A and B are shown apart, each in its own frame.
Chain A
Amino acid sequence: MKHDMPPMIDRRSLLRGAGGVALAGTAMPAWAKSGGLPAPQQELSGEKITLIVAEREVPIDGRMTRAVTINGSVPAPLLRLREGQDLQLTVVNQLSEPTSIHWHGLLLPFYMDGVPGVSFPGIPAGGSFTYHFPIRQSGTYWYHSHSGLQELLGAYGPIVIEPAAPAAEPMREHVIMLSDHSFTHPKRILNNLKADPGYYNRQPQTTLDLIKGRGQSLRERIEWGAMRMDPADIADVTGAVLHYLVNGHSAAQNWTGLFAAGEAVKLRFINGAGMSFFNIRIPDLPMTIHAADGEPVQPLEVDEFQIAPGETYDVVLRPENRAYTIVAESMDRSGMARATLAPAMGISAPVPPLRPRPLLTMKDMGMDHGAGGMKGMKMRDGSIAPQVKLGPGVDMISAMPMDRSGDPGIGLSGLDHRVLTYRDLVALAPNPDPRAPERELEVHLTGSMERYMWSMDGKVMSEAHEGIPMRRGERLRMTMINDTMMAHPIHLHGHYFELVTGHGDRSPRKHTAVVQPGGRLSFDLTAQDGDWAFHCHLFLHMAMGMMRVVKVRAA
């Protein structure tokens, strides 16, 4: 439709876009600047916006690195939109390869969703494309390249959509965009993982741990060894190669958000990391969750929550007149991103040390943890998952996949403070489609750690080729069964789905949800017309084939 036309850029948005580029001698958009310095280029708004995707050198964590930038910066400009507005976004591709921008979490016509080969042909090198769609929702979202490994190279930015009816008294707010950046090219990372899947795990279990009584007992080690499973394998790619960032700032660079004494502060957390889950906490300051994935939930006070790649959470804080540290610890505890909330620049609070690396348990293998639970259970019994192609790419079938929506995420069980679980989330408004699902569809998340292969139902996307068919408007229950020992954040484009967590017509609505290792997770959805990408949001897992196209057609 608007494909391959010469870039139709009106002068104002060009200036705005170019302004971002010019400013980016520092390569940091103003919205992401420490202290949130106001600047005209801080964010892009209005009905016409231009984004320029280009490769350039930018400083990250104090070092110049080759990155895929949008309007010259990493992260990309903040798009501040308003519910009900119309949006024309022109993306100019100055890369030497095709690109695309996907609007993560936005409800829009499928042919504007921005996945090359699924929703549109992509944006060729040197070409441009104008996306055109209405903004039908409000909340915290983000955008990123959906081509190759560009997201891992820096092509991501936040989206904030104001509600149609603005709040009577706007609250002080900051976007906290979490990400991970590597100076090693993601292709090299992938090659390293293919050669040695444990390459980046620098916190393996050791004999010394055994002697000191840390971690697994000898018996457990022998049992896990017999199964060829590694309980210390929490993340494929770790702080050994990743720099964890808040708004483009490393922990040492300490991004600082300001507030005035006595006021409430809203933080919009977005996990734009390519490969990292984060545990978020602010010592001495409880967080009240107000929205998950952009959708309002009943306010819920917690002390910590885990955020998976692709998820967003809005939290409200009532800080005292002092500085606080926002701790974003990577799930495998190999590093942290950190930021400061303070009444003035230059003050900070103590940064807690990384907590010890957690270990996986039998539960993460889809086995009963109870007495003698393992007896008679097989690691890889294809008969309990007949739809899975039991090939070299599948090293495990969960024997007893449990609903783990009540788990807080790897490493956060049994803490002495309140940690969010999916089951705690309750939608603020009744769900728009309360119908009972007409049918249930099971999808197995499969993989082989030794071969670093990731798939659905035992087939990588190119092998399966055929999409998942759905009827337009049908109410459907999808049950994801995780036959791997890694947590997978599953994202369905263009839809909200309601988690089946016992909250009836107030089920939390999400666009990205984690299926815990060895566990299961169900959600109901109303199928929207078109072809939609459906994948794990760990980018290397998606790249390896843990992805499908959902094809929704008129019944």
Chain B
Amino acid sequence: MRAWVILAALWAQPVLAQTPPAQPVGTDQEAGSAPAPEPVHDRAADRFYPAAQMAAAEHWMMQGEVPSRFQAYRLDLAEARIGKGADGYHLEGEAWTGNLHRLVLRVRAEGDWGQRLEQGEIQAAYAYALGPWWSLQAGVRRDVGVEAQRSHAMIGLEGLSPYRFDILALGFVSDKGVVSARVEASIDERLTRRIVLQPRAELVALAQDDRQARLGAGLSSIEAGLRIRYEITRKFAPYAGVNWGWSFGGTADYARMDGKPAAQRSFVLGVRSWY
């Protein structure tokens, strides 16, 4: 049937009849299956220029021309905490350098205004990229401040989870042999182009009691926060919010013994910045 239609069309259209049969030409043709040539290891330009100059230029082009090490610092939280009792402050930040793999320095500090630093820690880690979203973090942590001064070995993961949560999950072994873990998660929800709502949670658990540090075994504490920031620039955003903290089990017992509340709620005012 189709052949008849084509024949009729050819008869009716002498112009069409003159065109060659539909043999594919040019790029309409299928590609053959010739094998790829062997890899080439020399530089063609060495035939025209001194090989040493070409080698140096090639090295510069491959390695040196464009920066391959980057760095930034970020203060995720730099806030005043206003609640019952004394008002305090809280800081969390990090600096890094590198590219795919990075050296990371993290700082946390917490205390009451006018008092000595209550809880502080410094972490130094090597962040080894495992995949497009996760890095393995290995390093050390040193606690400073009036509470127990410990050193820890630490290992963990940092990355972006499905649904775009920023995750930092670290495990520690202290110089007293106490095993603990801390998991932080946050997500940025852009309400408008400049206003960002950030729910944030942190969970601490210990395998053993650490009496000196006033931390009990098992689930030790949970913090949850809700912060809303206004990005004056992407790199400088004041925020306000609420932060809740709950202690559990042994940690809550220690808190009560020390005359501190096992649960706290504070309003926070701070600035998020990076550069």
Specify the chain B residue showing the minimal Cβ separation from A195.
Answer: B72
Interface string of B112-129 (1 = CB under 8 A from A): 000000000000000001
- Which of A69-77, A133-141, A153-161, A387-395 lies at the interface with chain B? A387-395
Q: Choose from A117, A118, A195, A499 the contact partner of B70 (Cβ within 8 Å).
A: A195
Tell yes or no: A413 within 8 A of B by CB: no
Say yes or no: A469 contacts B133, CB within 8 Å. no
Q: Produce 1/0 per residue, B26-44, CB < 8 A to A.
A: 1111111111111111011
> Knowing A195-B70, A394-B132, A431-B26 touch, does A465 contact B62 (C-beta < 8 A)?
yes
Is the CB–CB distance between A438 and B129 below 8 Å? Answer: no
Contact in complex: A206, B192 (CB < 8 Å): yes
The number of A-B residue pairs with CB atoms under 8 Å apart is: 199
> Would you call B264 an interface residue if the criterion is a C-beta within 8 Å of the partner chain's C-beta atoms?
no
Closest to B71 in A: A191
A470 contacts across to B, CB distance below 8 A: 37
Residue of A nearest to B23 (CB): A504
Partner pick for A208 among B31, B45, B192, CB 8 A cutoff: B192
A228 to chain B, nearest CB (A): 6
Query: Taking the complex as formed, is B61 at the interface, i.e. its CB lies under 8 A from any CB of chain A?
Result: yes
A502 neighbours in B (Cβ, 8 Å): 28
Interface centre among B28, B53, B63, B132 (most CB of A within 10 A): B132
B interface residues, how many (CB within 8 angstroms): 62
User: In whole angstroms, how far apart are the Cα atoms of A309 and B149 in the complex?
Assistant: 57
Contact A1/B62 with A121-B54, A531-B43, A555-B37 known, Cβ cut-off 8 Å? no
Bound form: Cα–Cα A438–B190 in Å: 52
When chains A and B are docked, how far (Å) is the Cα of A98 from the Cα of B94? Answer: 36
A148 touches B53 (CB 8 A): no
Q: Which residues of B contact A469 (CB under 8 A)?
A: 36-40
Q: Known contacts A117-B60, A206-B191, A529-B44: does B29 contact A225 (CB below 8 Å)?
A: no
- Out of B25, B61, B190, which one reaches A504, CB within 8 Å? B25
Which stretch in B78-86, B156-164, B247-255 binds the other chain? B156-164
Residues in B neighbouring A434, C-beta threshold 8 A: 25-26
CB of B250, distance to nearest CB on chain A (Å): 37
User: Complex formed: what's the CA distance from A511 to B63 in Å?
Assistant: 26
Instruction: Specify which of A117, A190, A391, A498 is in contact with B62 (CB 8 Å cutoff).
Output: A117
CA of A256 to CA of B131, assembled, Å:
50
List chain B residues, Cβ under 8 A from A523. 27
Given A465-B62, A531-B45, A553-B37: A204 and B190 within 8 A (CB)?
yes
Q: Which of these, A206, A391, A553, contacts B193 with CB under 8 Å?
A: A206
State whether B44 touches A110 (Cβ < 8 A).
Answer: yes
Query: B130: nearest residue on chain A (CB-CB)?
Result: A392
Q: How far apart sit A469 and B232, CA to CA, in the bound complex (Å)?
A: 51
Min CB–CB distance A72 → chain B (angstroms): 24
CB distance from A365 to the nearest CB of B (A): 14
B1–chain A nearest beta-carbon distance, Å: 26
CA distance A203 to B194 in the complex (A): 10
When distances are taken between beta carbons in the complex, the residues of chain A under 8 Å from B189 are 207
6 tightest CB-CB pairs across the interface, nearest first?
A117-B61, A505-B26, A436-B29, A395-B132, A117-B58, A195-B72
Give 30 CB contacts A-B under 8 Å: A1-B48, A111-B47, A117-B58, A118-B43, A118-B45, A120-B57, A122-B61, A149-B66, A190-B66, A194-B99, A195-B70, A206-B190, A206-B192, A208-B192, A222-B163, A225-B162, A391-B131, A395-B132, A431-B26, A434-B26, A436-B32, A453-B100, A466-B39, A469-B38, A470-B37, A501-B27, A502-B28, A504-B25, A504-B28, A531-B44
Interface, chain B (partner A; CB < 8 A)? 24-41, 43-45, 47-50, 53-54, 56-63, 65-67, 70-72, 74, 99-100, 129-133, 160-164, 189-193, 197, 234, 274
